[in-house]
Structure 1
């Protein structure tokens, strides 16, 4: 491993672990939660976006530097990987435009239960996980997988921090929505 690869690995892992730490804090200390932020002027969404982008960016950068060091079957690498990346991006952006930037960044807005949100309470997180896995398959790098694993864990944990807040914000409307719509699928 080169020095550049080592730096990217450490930054990616630290970014993902920081997200996980903030989510664990928010899950177990909801009155002092970090996510979703307690007020709309909080710098927390900017920090969360930065850490999330660091996970994605370091995985991609490290994968480019370590390109193809894992033998991945061609159909998986060149078909499934890009399909997960493209489909995941389409779903993430569709979801973001459906609920708006404010809600995507952890702010209170209208509860959306239609479109993608009719099938999943968290289509953006699910799609982000697919994007990370897609990059792992396509880049075929051993060293990106620890970053991707931490990123997927953080994305899978985020709803557990958000949903108690959503229930408090929207009450029975959110609880009824949860009764008929799965967390991820």
Structure 2
């Protein structure tokens, strides 16, 4: 394994594992949580977005450096992988527009239950997971998968850290939403 690949792999996994650690901390120490932040600051956003970008960026770099290392069929790579990336991006950016960039970054916003949020309480997380999996499938890269798996783990855990905070903020309105809308799909 080349030095660049090793560095990118370690950086990507480390960034994602730091996100996982922060999310787990937030789940078990909600009064001292880091996600969603107790007080959203510019520094907090830089750390969270920085780690997220390092995780996603590392998956992309490894995907490009190891393009086609695995023998995935064409239909898996270009049919499913590319579809997940395109559809995931469409959902993520639609969710950002519906929720707003500030709320996407951890600021308190308005409870959204329409649009994409009518079908999933966490469409942006689901879409981000689809993008990462799509990158792995399209690129057929071996080394991208540890970064993808740790990234998907962080994205899958994040809603569990958020739900108590959302109940505290929106009370019965959010409890009703919990009963009628699935967490993921």
**Fold conserved between structures, TM > 0.5:** yes
- On the 8 A contact 1:77/1:140 being kept in 2, the answer is yes
* Equivalent residue number for residue 56 of structure 2: 56
Match of 2:114 in 1: 114
Q: Is 1:183 matched with 2:183?
A: yes
| Structure 1 contact 37–45 (Cα < 8 Å) conserved | no
Tell me how far apart the structure 2 counterparts of residues 97 and 59 of structure 1 sit (CA, whole Å): 25
Give the Å deviation of 1:15. Answer: 0.3
Work out the CA distance in 2 between the residues paired with 1:45 and 1:62. Answer: 25
In structure 2, C-alpha distance between the alignment counterparts of 1:75 and 1:165, rounded to whole Å: 42
Aligned residue in 2 for 1:97: 97
1:102: how far off? 1.4
How many residues align? The count is: 185
User: Which residue of structure 2 lines up, in the alignment, with residue 162 of structure 1?
Assistant: 162
How far is the alpha carbon of 1:42 from its aligned partner?
A: 5.2
2:76 aligned residue: 76
Aligned to 1:125: 125
What RMSD, in angstroms, separates the aligned Cα atoms of the two structures?
Answer: 0.8
Find the aligned partners of 2:80 and 2:22 in 1 and give their Cα distance.
Answer: 32
The superposition leaves residues 27-84 of structure 1 with CA deviations (integer Å, 9 ceiling, x where unpaired) of: 0000000000111325222211111111110011011111111000100001111100
Q: C-alpha distance in 2, partners of 1:51/1:178?
A: 29
Residue ranges of structure 1 left out of the alignment (5+ in a row): none
User: What is the TM-score with the length of structure 1 in the denominator?
Assistant: 0.98
- More deviation, 6-15/45-54: 45-54
Is there any run of 5+ residues in structure 2 with no aligned partner, and where? none
Post-superposition offset of 1:122: 0.1
**Distance in 2 separating the partners of 1:53 and 1:69:** 24
Summarize deviations over 1:8-33 as a string: whole Å, max 9, x none: 00000100000000001000000000
Q: Find out whether 1:140 has 2:140 as its counterpart.
A: yes
What TM-score comes out, normalization by structure 2 length? Answer: 0.98
Secondary structure, aligned partner of 1:43: helix
